[in-house]
Amino acid sequence: MTIVEKLAAEFGLRVQNVESTVALIDEGNTIPFIARYRKEVTGGMADVVLRDLEERLNYLRGLEERKEEVIRLIEEQGRLTEELREEILKAEVLQRVEDLYKPYKQKKATRASKARAKGLEPLAMRIVLQRDKTGTPEDYAAEFIDEEKEVKNAVEAIQGAMDIIAEEISEDADLIEAIRQGTFQKGQIQTEAVDPEEKTVYDMYYGSSEPIEKIPNHRVLAINRGEKEKKLKVKIAIDADFIRGFMGEKIISKNPNIYHDIMEEAVADSYKRLIAPSVEREMRNLLTERAEADAVKVFARNTEKLLMVPPVKDKRIISIDPGYRTGCKVAVLGTTGKLKAYTTIYPTKPKEDIAGTERVLKKLIDQFKIDVIVIGNGTASRETEEVVANFLAKNDYNISYTIVNEAGASVYSASKLATEEYPDLDVTTRGAMSLGRRLQDPLAELVKIEPKHIGVGQYQHDINQKLLDGALHNVVEDCVNRVGVDLNTASPSLLSYISGINMGIAKNIVSYREEHGRFGARKELLKVAKLGEKTYKQCAGFMRISGGKEVLDGTSVHPESYDAVREMMKKLGIEGEDVVKGGVLSIDEKITNAYPGKSYKAAINIMAEELGLGGPTLKDIIDELKKPARDPREDAPPVIFRNDVRIFEDLTVDMEMTGTVRNVVDFGAFVDIGVKQDGLVHVSQMSRNFIKHPMDVVSVGDNVKVKIISIDKEKQKIGLTMKL
């Protein structure tokens, strides 16, 4: 079975679609471009499916390359048999290939290699055959006594032979796979405290034991962290007698012979000294890899939801970054995010200048006609929120406020990028600006921050950073291309995620814009340094130009389809002005009328053939002409605004309220209900039906109705339920 056929079978896709998609990937086309503009080729695969397909393609190709390399290495030793070649070629996973290669792999000096150097391999092979029924093992071992080779007596000869046997047992690929599976299915991961008297966050893992097969991923990561911090000792436990018995059944002859005890001892030594430590490492690695993959998946989905939170457009904003000693930094932003003013207020301890804070807020609101106040959720957020809420309650302003997650804001404000963007502003003012802009356009602002600093995952600093960075980059890229960008306003950070564009070209685009003024047409991109035809093809459809020379430049229609679309518009009597004014909602009716007696579906098929377009592409074009440059974020839940404040002490059990999901993890979701601490909805409290994962029910940014079921005032923890 070829790689393409394997992929088709695994993903439930047509071989032809997979083959064509692989060809597109190999040609250097990006996943966003393939997903949006090559649906006929892929059969309409979504970007997420394409990402998974590409990842699996790379794995299978790496597997085939490793097989070829292993076959070559064994062949060079003159030890490759046809049977071994076939075993390697039919391996489905890299682990199997490495197991088969293990006996032929060049090793450092081992007890077995030293025994072989002493000429004891023939004795080991004789013992393994287990055919001698008379005499004693020492009788046959005596002929291997050699003072020059440091084999002083028969006992030493037998010991060396046992070392060889133990190593060869540990290199039996089929046996090791069976032990590996048995350990996974029947083994336990056990943890205990390094210091049982010390109180730590890992108390629940003191003297804990859980089946390897069933331990949840988030607990694996917690245990790993506890071990790394030297608070926990961790081991894999399994019934060693059961494993040794299983090995004996496979290895030790049932026929009477003089080597039974030696073989039993060799089996026990092989398992204890060589196999068990190796399998334990593999089990820990397997659990960690599985947990990391799941954590990355959760982080990626949370990040996607956060990036796709709908922008709050056309609002003038006061953005407050709370603090204590140095005060709260305030930035005033216009409707496009431009900084209008900035200052500092001191509503919190030690100054607690409430009157002065209110004077500043009143002045800014009146001067800039403010619509919304944004408050960061970090240090001193709760106290600042209370002052703002009380101020709004005392004044007759039609203004609400909202809390914004400030995770990563300090990272951005101190970054080289922020310094380049706003060289004349201090770090704290940049941070306050960033918070306000997160409300106005979350996607455009959050792309300036490394995704792992956005703070919507679990154990993100404990997992494989390369794996995490790669997955999150893909998520950001998919989100940016799904939304598209305004070519005349987008920052280099935003442009750099567009299909085919890197940061160097993104900066060149902005430089060209600054030197020559607004882009009047997409095709002007070809004048940008280092942006050639190939890159233009990948990026053009995701770049928007409003009010440009070409109407279609303001849509997601790709330039390669312009001629066909113009022909369609002419046939249907659609003018460019119709598109500009808000879309052609009657286009379906026009298509049906253009082909009398035909159903809408039949009319679409005929038109697609006449225009030389595929059906999916034509459908996308029609949808785009109905609502040009539609923002997919419009479908997401709106931001919750407030005009009053709750404090922890106001909360009571059975109180019902609406909150916003801030983070989703394996064991539940954290919900902002308007107090400083987010409440936890445990997975068991999300639905009356069984659910496998919290993400089956909620996503970051969702607005949910919850009821308080527990309050821990000492630990400041709130338990919530969605089972109302």
The answer to whether residues 213 and 238 touch, using CB atoms and an 8 Å cutoff, is: no
Residue matched to tokens 């035809």: 533
φ/ψ of residue 424, rounded to 5: -90, -5
Angle made by CA atoms 296, 498, 582, in degrees to the nearest 5: 115
Distance between CA atoms of residues 401 and 292, nearest Å: 37
* Lookup: tokens for 414: 């101190």
Angle made by CA atoms 497, 502, 507, in degrees to the nearest 5: 100
The answer to whether residues 363 and 399 touch, using CB atoms and an 8 Å cutoff, is: no
Structural domains in the chain, CATH included, are 3-104 (1.10.10.650), 317-440 (3.30.420.140), 510-635 (1.10.150.310), 648-721 (2.40.50.140)
Q: Pick the closest to residue 208 from 185, 226, 184, 229 (CA basis).
A: 226
pLDDT number for residue 304 = 92
DSSP 688-701: SS--S-GGGT--TT
| Total Cβ atoms within 10 A of residue 18 | 25
pLDDT number for residue 455 = 66
Hey, is 237 helix, strand or coil? strand
Q: Pick the closest to residue 100 from 85, 113, 112 (CA basis).
A: 85
* Lookup: tokens for 341: 């003013």
Distance between CA atoms of residues 261 and 498, nearest Å: 69
3-state secondary structure 305-331: HHHCCCCCCCCCEEEEECCCCCCEEEE
CA distances from 414 to 74, 274, 428, 447 (A): 54, 51, 9, 15
Q: Which helix (H) or strand (E) holds 709?
A: strand 703-712
pLDDT number for residue 54 = 98
Write out residues in the chain with pLDDT < 70, as ranges.
455, 457, 645-646
| Total Cβ atoms within 10 A of residue 479 | 24
pLDDT number for residue 645 = 62
DSSP 35-64: HHH-HHHHTS--HHHHHHHHHHHHHHHHHH
Distance of alpha carbon 530 from the chain centroid: 31
The answer to whether residues 632 and 482 touch, using CB atoms and an 8 Å cutoff, is: yes
Residue matched to tokens 């993959």: 293
Ramachandran region, residue 74 (left: φ > 0; alpha: ψ -120 to 50; beta: rest): alpha
CA distances from 629 to 41, 305, 522, 624 (A): 24, 20, 15, 7
Residue matched to tokens 């071990």: 227
pLDDT number for residue 638 = 86
Contacts (Cβ under 8 Å, ≥6 apart) of 82: none
Distance between CA atoms of residues 644 and 675, nearest Å: 11
Q: Which amino acid is at 130?
A: Q
Ramachandran region, residue 618 (left: φ > 0; alpha: ψ -120 to 50; beta: rest): alpha
Q: Which helix (H) or strand (E) holds 720?
A: strand 717-721
DSSP category for residue 151: B
Kindly report the pTM of this predicted structure.
0.88
Q: Which helix (H) or strand (E) holds 421?
A: helix 416-421
Q: How many residues does the chain have?
A: 724
Q: What is the pLDDT of residues 79-134, one digit of tens each?
A: 999 999 999 999 999 999 999 999 999 888 999 999 999 999 999 999 999 999 99
Distance of alpha carbon 538 from the chain centroid: 24
Ramachandran region, residue 720 (left: φ > 0; alpha: ψ -120 to 50; beta: rest): beta
Count Cβ atoms within 10 A of the Cβ of residue 364 and give its class: 0-12 exposed, 13-18 middle, 19 or more buried: buried
Distance between CA atoms of residues 240 and 417, nearest Å: 57
Residue matched to tokens 């303001």: 554
Q: Pick the closest to residue 31 from 543, 473, 559 (CA basis).
A: 473
Contacts (Cβ under 8 Å, ≥6 apart) of 434: 409, 412, 413, 418, 445, 448
Residue matched to tokens 């730590």: 200
The answer to whether residues 475 and 307 touch, using CB atoms and an 8 Å cutoff, is: yes
Hey, is 708 helix, strand or coil? strand
CB < 8 Å & 24+ apart, contacts of 651-655: 651/675, 651/708, 651/711, 651/718, 652/708, 652/711, 653/708, 653/709, 653/710, 653/711, 654/707, 654/708, 654/709, 655/707, 655/708
